[in-house]
Structure 1
Amino acid sequence: MLSNTILIVVGGLPAAGKTTLSRLLAARIGAVHLRVDTIEQALVRSGLARHPVGPAGYVVGYALAEEYLRQGLPVIAESVNPLAVTRDSWRDAGTRAGVPVVEVEVICSDPAEHRQRVASRAVDLPDLPLPDWEEVRRREYEPWNREHVTLDTAGDGPRESLNSLLHRLDRLQLLPRR
């Protein structure tokens, strides 16, 4: 029997489709959607931090992920995850909780489509600063150095991307069963 508890770590550049995909996936499998942008905005609104927040949002995210996983809840942890150290820290949280971890890198391989997404997206968190195309292109983003699922959202709508991801996760036999 498959465990209902899993950590799915979703990363990728801004406007690749991470948040939309993570929300849809969380609703489909009954998981907690843990978004680092939400945590960082809460820190900024509290007066404890200013943008860029630095590692604080991620550190809070790791702790929350581990707590939810220990409660038996599946978690989708979503953030840019630009550095190997951030990816390692998510994996460590899952390992400490004793659950499987799947890493998903969301990309948009069509530069024109990606640029359009960056230019046209709306702020869904009050006062969240959104990067422009040049900031996205210049962003530090280390290559993923271990096995992970890569999901290219170029040319696909949110539902098609979700179905593709569900199919790939199902093949790994790690999807929570409801």
Structure 2
Amino acid sequence: MLIVIGGLPGSGKTTLSRLLAKRLAGAVHVRIDTIEQAIIRSGLARHPLGPAGYAVGYALTEDHLRQGLTVIAESVNPLPVTRDAWCEVGVRAGVPVAEVEVTCSDPDEHRHRVTSRTGDIPGHRLPGWGEVVEREYEPWDRDHITVDTAGQTPEASLETLMAHLK
């Protein structure tokens, strides 16, 4: 199965993706931020990277799916074109796709998360609050799972997602 997790920075995507990967046997977490930063560190490109990180993510994800693994593909996934591309990966691999949007509906909590977190990818610069609220992010126009992480623990958010995935 392909589980595509998207949402604005600071919404809880990475935390939820990591918890989900631990919970599901035979699952791998593919994180676009990690891929993009590796490409930048290689010296082949600079930030902003454009579609290269997503292209690598799609290829890795399809390869993992063809090996019989469940993939949790995590990225901001801000546009219909990226959402469609993830779905096409699932179709090519012949697996079901679950699309998940992670949100934080409490603006104060979301802002606090963005401004107080520390990065876990060497060299990766986290966006500031202004960049998060100004970021291009088109609303979802099709059925998908929404997990609102505001006011609850990561474990509670995981249980909400698990209930939807069943």
Q: TM-score, normalised by structure 1?
A: 0.92
Aligned partner (choices 113, 116, 126) of residue 117 of structure 1: 113
Aligned counterpart, 1:167: 163
Equivalent residue, structure 1, for 2:131: 135
Aligned pair 1:44/2:40, yes or no? yes
User: In structure 1, what residue type is equivalent to 2:14?
Assistant: T
1:15 counterpart (7, 10, 20): 10
Inter-partner Cα distance in structure 1 for 2:49 and 2:165: 32
Q: Deviations over 1:112-138 (max 9, x none)?
A: 000000011111001111111110000
> How far has the Cα of 1:157 moved from its partner?
1.1
Deviations 1:24-65 (A, max 9, x none): 001100311000000001001100111111100000000111
Structure 2, gaps ≥5 residues long = none
Cα distance in 2 for residues equivalent to 1:115 and 1:56? 29
Equivalent residue number for residue 66 of structure 1: 62
**CA offsets, 1:44-97, max 9 Å, x none?**
110011111110000000011111101110000000001100000000000000
**1-structure distance, mates of 2:116, 2:16:** 17
How far off is 1:168 after superposition?
1.3
Aligned equivalents of 2:140, 2:59: Cα separation in 1: 23
Number of residue pairs matched by the alignment? 165
Partner SS, residue 13 of structure 1:
coil
Distance 1:72 1:168 in 2: 22
- Structure 2 CA distance for aligned equivalents of residues 67 and 145 of structure 1: 28
In 2, Cα distance between equivalents of 1:106 and 1:16 = 6
Please tell me the residue identity of whatever aligns with 1:44: I
Query: How far apart, in 2, do the equivalents of 1:135 and 1:41 lie?
Result: 18
Structure 1 stretches lacking a partner, 5+ long: 1-5, 171-178
Shift of 1:111: 0.2
